[in-house]
Chains A and B, each alone.
Chain A
């Protein structure tokens, strides 16, 4: 997964940037109301529209959700390649993934088409450029539901207009540590942005990872939405950097102690639940960004955060694990990765 590479602008704080566009085909019922036959038709139509353009011919691969077992489905969600919403429609859903895993087109999620582009670091423009192009390619072979006054029509009126959700995933451990985070998020929510955890709606901000995205999709252009989000993200980055500097300056030995203790536990523990591992991995990530830990790469930790998610652990061992067994396997995976 390229988005976990730990590259790109402001990579010490920003994990990834993502643009999602919601589109529907005119005069056809939205997925929730579709029968299986029509759902198949839409899958074919969208699939063909994407690969009709020769640039996409060999780089996209189509998967039907019916052909993927439920563990593997959840692995894809944990990797952020598809959304939890798509699994709710697993009988009628499908998706296309580009080889580099930066671009996914989901079919029959809440809307007929939901395309997402995800890049490492702060790079919303690159995401938008790709999404915009792909959108044109799909539109060339379909008739979009679009209204002159209210823009792209979506199953839920909260997405009409641009149909765009721009989001940035940030690692903000020092703002959490210095207890500034709640005040900041309250302010953010008052200007039409929303903050969620690693796995979107309803998920906790485990591992100090936060996703910030736009709530408003009507009446603001794609550029406006991205600029507003970027502006706020930039401020959060500055705040986090200042907090890190302050901690280092006034509490150096304390923060070093915290980080090395976490590293000690991760390297030696035999049982590790997902919550604890997220917390400790966040400490290691901070240690890398603050240049306290030098022999572990950012990419290793980013990937470990995903590899230690429940379905990912399950899938690696290829059999049904109960939570206890899973915690033992999780500890094993971590020890192996950090055995340097």
Chain B
């Protein structure tokens, strides 16, 4: 059986689709099935977009989004899935939504703990310091240590200014 979409390759992916109560069999080749998967990436926005499409022509449109590409290296999520390797550091922001759940599955965690580079991590270190001071400030206010609170508040302001610069 040939792929229903491109008609060029052998269909290897078969499944049943139900749209508006209408049941149909779908037969696709691996490539088209992969593209379809990108198209059906679920988020509220995409679901809404899908609903809107449905209202217009009554049929679920498959490829209403172009496969997302990294703007620095041109990597697509499908290619990443094939090789397991991303193309550049920017890919992590490009595919952030989809990678996020992967981190938990691989590592059991999704937040870095440990070394922070001196240069690239400078603002991060300051942010962590600010968070710590804010906790202390809250505590000071609760304990009515207003003099101490004023000192802490000034420290925070100074650090925040540093970040902006």
Chain A contacts of B119 at CB under 8 A? 139-140, 143-144
Please choose the segment from B53-61, B104-112, B156-164 that sits at the chain A interface, where 4 or more of its residues have CB less than 8 A away: B104-112
CB distance from B111 to the nearest CB of A (A): 6
A162 contacts B115, CB within 8 Å? yes
Is A28 close to B, CB under 8 A? yes
Q: Are B120 and A144 in contact (CB under 8 A)?
A: yes
**Interface: A216 (CB within 8 A):** yes
Q: Do A146 and B120 form a contact, CB below 8 Å, given A160-B103, A219-B112, A219-B113?
A: yes
In the complex, are the beta carbons of B87 and A156 less than 8 A apart?
Answer: no
Q: Which of the segments B12-20, B44-52, B88-96 contacts the partner chain?
A: B88-96
- In the complex, whether B73 has a CB less than 8 A from a CB of chain A is yes
Q: Closest Cβ of chain B: how far from A73's Cβ, in Å?
A: 22
With a cutoff of 8 Å between Cβ atoms, the chain B residues found around residue A217 in the complex are: 107
Residues from chain A with Cβ under 8 Å of B92 in the complex: 147, 150, 153, 160
Chain A, range 186-243, C-beta contacts under 8 Å to B: 192, 216-224
Q: Mark A11-42, 1 if CB is under 8 A from B, else 0.
A: 00000000000001011111011000000000
B117 near A: Cβ within 8 Å? yes
Chain B residues positioned under 8 Å from A110 (CB to CB) = 85
Q: Binding site of B, secondary structure by majority: helix, strand, loop or mixed?
A: loop
Of A24, A140, A148, most B-chain CB atoms within 10 Å: A148
A8 at the interface (CB under 8 A from B): no
Nearest residue in A to B89 (C-beta to C-beta)?
A145
- Chain A CB within 8 A of B86 CB: yes
Cα distance A219–B112 in the bound complex, in angstroms: 5
Instruction: Determine whether the beta carbon of A33 is less than 8 Å from that of B88.
Output: yes
User: Is B102 touching A157 in the complex (CB atoms < 8 A)?
Assistant: yes
A84 on the interface (CB 8 Å rule)? Answer: no
Q: Is the CB of B112 within 8 A of A33?
A: no
What is the CA–CA distance of A29 and B89 in the complex, to the nearest angstrom? Answer: 7
Given contacts A29-B73, A33-B73, A216-B108, contact A153 B89 (CB under 8 A): yes
The listed residue (B86, B90, B107, B110) touching A155 by CB distance below 8 A is B86
Task: Give the docked Cα–Cα distance between A151 and B120 (Å).
Answer: 11
Indicate whether A136 reaches chain B with its CB closer than 8 angstroms.
yes
From B106, which residue of chain A is reached at the shortest CB distance? A158
A-B contact list, 22 entries, CB within 8 Å? A24-B89, A27-B90, A30-B85, A30-B86, A136-B118, A139-B117, A139-B118, A145-B89, A146-B120, A146-B121, A147-B92, A157-B106, A158-B106, A160-B103, A160-B107, A160-B112, A161-B107, A218-B109, A219-B109, A219-B110, A220-B113, A222-B114
5 new A-B contacts, CB < 8 A, other than A144-B117, A149-B112, A160-B112, are: A32-B85, A143-B119, A150-B103, A218-B107, A219-B107
